[in-house]
Amino acid sequence: MQWRLLVCCLLMLAGNVNAKIENNKPEIIIILDDLGYRPTDIAAFSLPTEVTFAILPQTPLASTIAERAHAEGRNVMLHMPMQASNGKKMGPLGLTTDMYPAAITHTLRRALKSVPYAVGVNNHMGSAFTGEKDAMMTIMEEIKRQGLFFVDSRTSVYTRGEEVAQALGVPSVSRHVFLDHQRTPSFLTQQFERTKTLAKKRGSVVVIAHPYPETLAFLAEALPHLSDEGLQLVSITEHLKPHQPLRHVAMAQHAKE
């Protein structure tokens, strides 16, 4: 009698394990950058709520988009302008490599105030800035102080972003795929197929895209079919569990209330 009970328990345990394995689908995380300038950016709200909105500071629609995104339960991030190697203009509140640490911290705080409900930060451009370890230490210390996470957009192979974040204990991840630096249907399809392949191989993949009409139309068509291929779309904060920042927990609680 005892051995039968033992066998039943083992079978039940095996069933639970199999269920967990089946539910443990590879994750795709999509961050939509450069939001805040154009009225057409509002079209991004047609995408699933798991898509993260990364908003440029002090842009005309920054607050409007952030508040609506938060009300819908979406993740909001600050898309922080940082100096590029090619000297390209950054827009308002850009961080440069010649800034003193206090100026970097002050500028980041101003940027965060202009994007309400931000739970994380990623870099806009930044091929020069992210390669400077001391500058990245300064920004990461403030990110940690505010209970945020960091996503390294990896605009340069010399970035120190995730390295510094990990050294300071800041929840972080790096971008794996840029979806739309060409907007043709063939290129978008190619990059999305690469995304799915990487997700199945790695277990998760972080994709950066932009609110171009071509991109939004492509994602609206492609994302609903992920589950058919054994994949799942998740928000960046869902992906970062169990290292979820304190600020996100507070934001989530506030949204539920």
Is the residue at 7 inside a domain?
Answer: no
Q: Which residues pair with 122 in a beta bridge?
A: 79, 151
Q: Domain of 62?
A: 26-256
Is the residue at 125 inside a domain?
Answer: yes
Is the residue at 18 inside a domain?
Answer: no
Is the residue at 10 inside a domain?
Answer: no
Is the residue at 3 inside a domain?
Answer: no
Cα pseudo-dihedral 152, 157, 226, 235, rounded to 10: 0
Q: Tell which residue, 107, 75, 105, 85, has the closest CA to residue 94.
A: 107
Q: How many domains does the chain have?
A: 1
* Cβ atoms 105, 138 nearer than 8 A: yes
Q: Tell which residue, 150, 152, 210, has the closest CA to residue 176.
A: 152
Is the residue at 168 inside a domain?
Answer: yes
pLDDT digits (tens), the chain, 257 positions: 444 444 344 444 444 433 333 368 999 999 999 999 999 999 999 999 999 999 999 999 999 999 999 999 999 999 999 989 888 888 899 999 999 999 999 999 999 999 999 999 998 887 888 888 999 999 999 999 999 999 988 877 878 888 899 999 999 999 999 999 999 999 999 999 999 999 999 999 999 999 999 999 999 999 999 999 999 999 999 999 855 544 554 454 444 44
Is the residue at 136 inside a domain?
Answer: yes
Is the residue at 2 inside a domain?
Answer: no
**CATH number (domain holding residue 183):** 3.20.20.370
